[in-house]
Amino acid sequence: MLSTKEISSFNQEVPHSENESALETFGGINALERCLDTDFKNGLSSKVIKSRQDSHGRNEFEAPESDTWFQMFLESFEDTTVIVLIVAAIVSLIVGIYDDPKKGWIEGVAILAAVIVVAVVTATNNYNKELQFRKLNAVKDDVEIAVMRDGVSASIDVKELVVGDIVVLNAGDKVPADGVMVSGSDVTVNESSLTGEPDDVKKEGPSNPHADHFLLSGTSLASGYAHMVVVAVGAQSRWGKTKAKLAAETVETPLQEKLNVLAGQIGNGGMFAAGATFVAMLTLWFLYPETRAPDVTLVEYVIKAFIMAVTIIVVAVPEGLPLAVTLSLAYSTQKMMLDNNLIRVLAACETMGNATNICSDKTGTLTQNRMTVVASWVAGAFNPIGAPTAADLPPPLVKFIAEGVSVNSTANLLSSPDGSVTVLGNKTEGALLMMISDSLGADYVVLRALFDSARGDQLLTFSSLRKRMTVLLLNGPSGKSGISYTKGAAEVVVGLSTKYVTLNGKVETLTDKIKASILEAISNMAKGSLRTIALAHKEVKKSSSAELQADYLESELVLDAVYGIKDPLRPDVHDAVKACQKAGIFVRMVTGDNIDTAKAIAKECGILTENGVAMEGPVFRKLTPKQLDAVLPKLQVLARSSPDDKHTLVTRLNGHALPTNEEEWKAIHPDGNWATDRDNFLPGYQEEWQSSRVTGEVVGVTGDGTNDGPALKAADVGLSMGLCGTEVAKEASDIVIMDDNFSSIVKSVMWGRSVFDNIQKFLQFQLTVNVVALTLTFVSAVQGSEPPLNAVMMLWVNLIMDTMGALALGTEPPSAELLNRRPYKRNASLISNKMVRHILIQFVFQMLLLSYLLLVGAPHFDVAMHSREHITIIFNAFVFCQVFNEVNARSIDDTMNVFKGLFRNPLFVSIIVFTVCAQYVIVEYGGDFVRTTHLTEDQWIKCILLGSLSLPLGGLMRLLPVPNSENDFAPVPELVQHDAQQQLEKENKSRKAPYTGSFFFWAAVVLVLPVVTYQRFEEHWVPYLGEDWKNFAQVAKRF
C-alpha cells in the first residue's frame, strides 16, 4: 500500500506528463490496483474503509477559523460613536467623583454598563448568525456519489470517500477527489476551476499510455463516463491545497446594500439632531441663566450636553437595520432547508421573492421522476398498454432490445430488502432497465459486461443537442466487425432509421407507410403525456476510425422499438402553479420532450392556458428579437428545446447576458454581419433590448444538466435539482431544490417575500421610535427643560428598537397571503405609503401622549412635577408605547388583526415578554443607575394602558385609504393577470368567513382598551373635556 508521501510524488501541480513519468516508477496505472490494494472492477471492501481513513485521511476540508465570541465582543467597541460615548462617560465619571464622591460616579458607570450590555447582545447575535451560516455552508458540501464497494454499485456521502475507492462518474458530475482514470469513454473534463482555462481537456484510460489520465478534485466531467481510482482526498488533494489558500468573503446582498444606504441617511439625520440638541442646550445655558440648576457647573453641564448628543447619535444610527436583514436571511435560509431549499447564494433568497418569471423543467420538477414503461411500438405493432414479453417477440429482437438497453446506459438498479427497486442515475434509463428485467427476463448487469473499453468499445454519451446516445460493441480484439446501439428521442431516432425488425425477426425496409404509423403511435403516446424513447441498432462491418464516428454509427439505423414512458404529475404541482400565477408570476415550461407531450403535461398542471402559446425549439431559434418579444407575453411552453434555447429565453427576459457591443455580438455570431443582422439574430443586443421595454423581468430558472449551466448563471436566480441534477448544474445555481419539486420553488418565493416584508416591518417599528425619541429630546432641550429620557434610558430604548426589534420582527414566518400580491420592482422603495401612514400617526400619538405626561400628567399619577417618579412614569409609558407598537408593526398593510399568527413566531412572543420583564427590573431596581424609582400598582397599570392605546389606534389608522405606489410593483402580463383573476374569483366563492379566534380576540382588545383607560383617568380627564363630554360619557355608561 503506497503511503501519502509516495502518492503525492505523482500528484503534483506540474504538467500531467511529469506526473505520468512519476507514476511509471511505481509500474503505471495498472500497477495502482496492486499498489493501492484495490480492485478496479469490484472496488474496495467495506471492511478496510476505517483503516484507509486513519492512514490517508478523510475527504473533508477544515473550515477556516471564525472569530470567537470574545473577538466579536471587542469588535462591538470599534464603532466611533460608541468610543466617543465611552470617553464621555469616563469624563463624566471622573468629574462626578470629583464633585460628589458618594453618588457622582453613578451616571458614568451606568452609561458604561449600558454600553457593555448592548455589546454583549450584539456579539451574541453576530456569533449565533455566524454559526448558522457555517452550518448552512456545511450542508452545501453534502453530496452523494456513486462508487463500487464489495462488488456492487453504491451511493455514499462524498465525505466517506477514501484512497483506493473506485468512483463512477458521468457527464456533469463533479470530481470528488484526485484520481486516475482506469476505464471510460468519450471523457472530457472542465478544469477551469483549477486552471482558469475554459477549454475542456480530453482524458483517457490505460489503453493510451501517452494520454492525460488524471482527474482532479474540483473539476467536472463535461462529457462521457469514467471509472477512476482515488489517490488523494481532502486536504491532500489538489482542490484541498488550493482551498486552504482561499478565504471566503462575505458579499452583501442587494437588500443589505440598500439598507446600508438608508441607515447612513438616518444616521446623518440623527447626527444633525444631536448637534442641534448640543447647541440648543449650550445656548440656553448662556441666554437663560435663571434656568440653570444651582449645583451644576459649566463643565458638568457641557459634559452632560455632550453625553446627550452622543447618546442621540447612538440611538439614531440604526445599526439594527443591517442586523435585521442579516438575521432575517440567516433565519430564512435555515428554515428554507426544511422546505427543501438549499441556499447557495444569499442574495437569491430575497431575489426569488420578487421573481416575475419562472422557467421550469418538466421531468422531476413538475413530474415525480418515477418512470414506468406503459406503452410501446415493437415489431410493427402499437401496444397502447404495456410492453410485449420475450414470448411475444422473436429472439433476435429480444437480444437487440435487451443488449441495447443494458450497454447503452449508465444507470443502475438497487434492490432493497423489502423488494423495492431504486434507480441510481437517469430515471428514464432506469425505467427501460426495469422493463427488460420484467418483460424480457434479461439481467442488465450480465449484458453490460459485454462492453469492454480495452478492446476499443465506445460510448457516445447523451447530449441535449443530439438528443441521443450510442454505444459501439466490437466483436473481438481484431475489431473487424461489431454492433452499435442507439437510444434517444423517438422522432429523432426514427428519422435516422431506414429499416426495422419485423415480428418474424427479419430486417425490412422502413417504408413511408410504416414510418407514418410509427409517428402516429408516437403522437398518440405523446398526447397521453408519455415520454417517447426509440431504440435502434446497426451492424458495423468495418472499423476504420472514420467509420466509428457518430455520423456513421448513427445513420441508416435499424429501428428495434419505441417505448412510451409515463412520469406521473406531482400531486401538488397544479396548486403550486396556480399559486405562482396568483402571485403575478409567469410560469413557463421549457422541456426537451416533443410538442404533444409538452402541451399535454402543461395543460394538466395548469401552465398552458386557453390563450397561451406552445412553441418548438427549431421554430423559436428562427425568430428575430422583435418577433420573440411579441410572443413572450403568451409563450408558456417551449418544447424540443436545447440548453441554448433556454439561455436565449432567459437573456431575452432579463437582459443580463446580452452582448453590449459589436465585438461581443460577433463572438456569438461569428458568421453574422453586425450592420445587417444584429436586429435579426437572437438573443439581440443590449441597446436594442433596452429600447424595447421599461424594465427587465426577474427570472428564476430550473436546470439539472451540465449544459443548463449558462442558463442558470444568466438567470436572476438559478434553481438546480438536488436529486437528478448534475454537480455542474448545482455549482452554477443559486438555490438547490433538494426534492426536485416545483412546490418547493413556490415556498422559496414565499420565504423571499417574507424577508422583504420582515425588513419593512422592522423599519416601520424602528423609524417610529427613532423619530419620537429624537424629537422629544430635541424639543425638551430647546424648551430649556431636562430631557425626560436620560442617556441610560435612551440606550435601553436603543436596545429595544435595534437588537430586540430585529430579532422579533426579522424572524416572522411566511404565510400564504404573501402570494396574493404582485412582485416588487428591483428599485422599489423600502418605505411604502402605508408604512409612512403608520409611522406618522404613531409618531403624532406618542408625541401627544408624552407631551401630556410631561406637561400636565404628573397630578394624574399623584406625583410631583419633574420629580424622579414623574420622569420614571414618562419613561415607562414611552417603553410600553414601543412594546405595543411592535405588535402593531407586524402588519405593513391594511390588515387590522395584528394578533394573527402571533404564536407561530415564539421568538417574537419571547422578546415581548423579555422586554416587559426587563423594563420592570429597570424601573423597580434601576435606582440611581437609571434614575428611576418604584412605581405603585396603579401607576404601572396606567402606564401600560396608555401605551396599549397604540393597538386601537393601529386599527383606526388602517381605515384611512392610503394606496401603495404602483411604481413599486412589477408589471404583470395580461395573460397572467387573467389567470390570477380567475383564480382569486374561484377562491372568493369557496372561501369561508375570514374571522378567526385571533380576530375576535383582537377586536375585543381594541374595543375594551380605550374604555378601561378612560375609566382609569376619568376623574382627571373630564375637566379638560367639558360638560358635554361628561354627559355623553354618562349616557354611554348606561348604554
Cβ distance 185 to 470 under 8 Å?
no
Pick left, alpha or beta for residue 927 (phi over 0 → left; psi -120 to 50 → alpha; otherwise beta): left
Give the per-residue pLDDT at 631. Answer: 94
Which pLDDT belongs to residue 28? 87
Query: Is the pLDDT score of 875 beyond 80?
Result: yes
At residue 558's C-alpha, the angle toward residues 552 and 564, to 5°, is 115
pLDDT greater at residue 415 or residue 37: 37
Question: Could you tell me which of 330, 327, 347, 320 has the C-alpha nearest to residue 263?
Answer: 320
Could you tell me which residues come within 8 angstroms of residue 941 by beta carbon, excluding any fewer than 6 positions away?
1016
The percentage of the chain sitting over the pLDDT mark of 90, rounded to a whole number, equals: 37
CA atoms within 13 A on the CB side of 410: 24
The grid coordinates listed for 205 are 484510460
Average pLDDT score over residue span 209-213: 84
pLDDT at 107: 63
Active site residues: 361
pLDDT digit string, tens, across residues 632-661: 999 999 998 888 899 999 999 998 889 999
Confidence tier at 717 by pLDDT (50, 70, 90): very high
CA–CA dist 296, 8 (Å, integer): 77
Q: CA-to-CA distance for 428 and 530, rounded, in angstroms?
A: 11
Backbone dihedral angles phi then psi of residue 622, each to the nearest 5 degrees: -85, -5
Q: Quick one: which of 1011, 336, 429, 1006 has its CA closest to 737?
A: 336
Tell me what the mean pLDDT of segment 18-39 comes to.
Answer: 88
283-287, 294-298, 693-697: the lowest-pLDDT one = 294-298
When pLDDT is averaged across residues 710-721 and rounded to a whole number, the result is 89
Mean pLDDT of 802-819: 84
State residue 246's pLDDT score. Answer: 47
Do residues 262 and 321 touch, judged by C-beta distance below 8 A?
yes
Q: Are 93 and 113 within 8 A, CB to CB? A: no
Q: Which residue has the cell 443582422?
A: 677
Q: What average pLDDT does this structure show over 1004-1026?
A: 85
C-alpha distances out from residue 981 to 174, 200, 391, 581, Å: 45, 50, 56, 9
Residue 158 is classified by DSSP as G
Q: Where are the alpha helices (DSSP H) in 36-176?
A: 49-56, 69-75, 80-99, 106-140
SS3 367: strand
Mean pLDDT lowest among 150-159, 786-795, 809-818, 836-845: 786-795
Strands 735-737 and 717-721: parallel
Cell of 585: 408570476
pLDDT above 70: residue 753: yes
Helices (H) and strands (E) in the chain, counts: 41, 26
Burial code of 6-34, b = ≥16 C-beta within 10 A, e = fewer? Answer: ebbebbeeeebeebbebbeebeebeebbe
Pairing of β 341-343 and β 635-639: unpaired
Question: Minimal CA–CA distance to 329: which of 758, 747, 943?
Answer: 758
- Lowest-confidence region among 514-528, 572-586, 781-795: 781-795
pLDDT average, residue stretch 368-390: 91
Q: What pLDDT digit, counting tens, does each position of 69-88 carry?
A: 888 888 878 766 567 667 76
The DSSP annotation for 931-944 comes to T-----HHHHHHHH
Cell numbers 495498472 correspond to 30
What SS3 state is found at 56?
Answer: helix
Tens digit of pLDDT for each residue in 954-992? 999 999 989 888 888 888 777 777 655 555 555 555 445
Helices (H), 441-543: 444-448, 490-496, 512-527
Mean pLDDT of 412-427: 80
Peptide bond connecting 683 to the previous residue in cis, omega within 30 degrees of 0: yes
Q: What are phi and psi of 944, to 5 degrees?
A: -65, -45
Residue ranges with strand state E in 837-924: none
Which of 18-22, 83-87, 574-578 has the highest average model confidence (pLDDT)? 574-578
Q: Give percent above pLDDT 70 in the chain.
A: 87
pLDDT at 995: 67
Average pLDDT over the chain reads 84
221-225, 415-419, 677-681: which range is least confident on average?
415-419
Instruction: Write the DSSP assignment of 741-786 as a string of letters.
Output: -HHHHHHHHHHHHHHHHHHHHHHHHHHHHHHHHHHHHHHHHHHTSP
CA 699, chain centre distance (Å): 13
What is the pTM for the complete model shown? 0.75
Mean pLDDT, to the nearest integer, of 857-884?
92
Q: Produce one character per residue of 444-483: b if its CB has 16 or more CB atoms within 10 Å, e if not.
A: beebbeebebeebbbbbbbbbebbbbbbbbbeeeebeebb
Angle (CA) 436 439 444, round 5°: 20
Among residues 65, 53, 63, which one has the least CA distance to residue 159?
53
**Within 10 Å of residue 1004's Cβ, how many Cβ atoms?**
10
Which helix (DSSP H) or strand (DSSP E) does residue 979 occupy? helix 974-990
* Residues 468, 536: Cα–Cα separation, whole Å: 11
Whole-number Å distance between alpha carbons of 756 and 829:
11
The residue type found at 922 is I
Half-sphere exposure of 349 (CA within 13 A, CB side): 30
- Cell numbers standing for residue 596: 404533444
What grid cell was written down for 372? 414506468
| pLDDT per residue as tens digits for the range 582-632 | 899 999 999 988 899 999 999 999 999 888 999 999 999 999 999 999 999
Residue 40, C-alpha cell as written in the block: 478496479
pLDDT at 211 over 80: yes
Q: What pLDDT, in 10s, does the model give residues 158-202?
A: 889 999 999 999 887 889 899 999 988 888 888 876 766 667 888
pLDDT of residue 644: 85
pLDDT tens sequence across 684-695? 999 999 998 877
Look at residues 310, 266, 70 and name the one whose alpha carbon lies nearest to residue 801.
Answer: 266
pLDDT at 388: 93
> With 60 as the cut, is the pLDDT of residue 1035 above it?
no
Question: pLDDT grade, residue 278 (50/70/90)?
Answer: confident
pLDDT band for position 115 (cuts 50, 70, 90): confident
CA distance 204 to 211: 6
What is the rounded average pLDDT of the residues 852-872?
Answer: 91
**Tens digits of residue pLDDT in 427-468:** 889 999 999 999 999 999 999 989 887 777 888 887 777 889
Which of the listed ranges 6-15, 225-234, 707-716 does the model predict with the highest average pLDDT? 225-234
Confidence of residue 249 (pLDDT cuts 50, 70, 90): very low
Question: For 603-750, where are the E strands, in sequence order?
Answer: 613-616, 635-639, 699-703, 717-721, 735-737
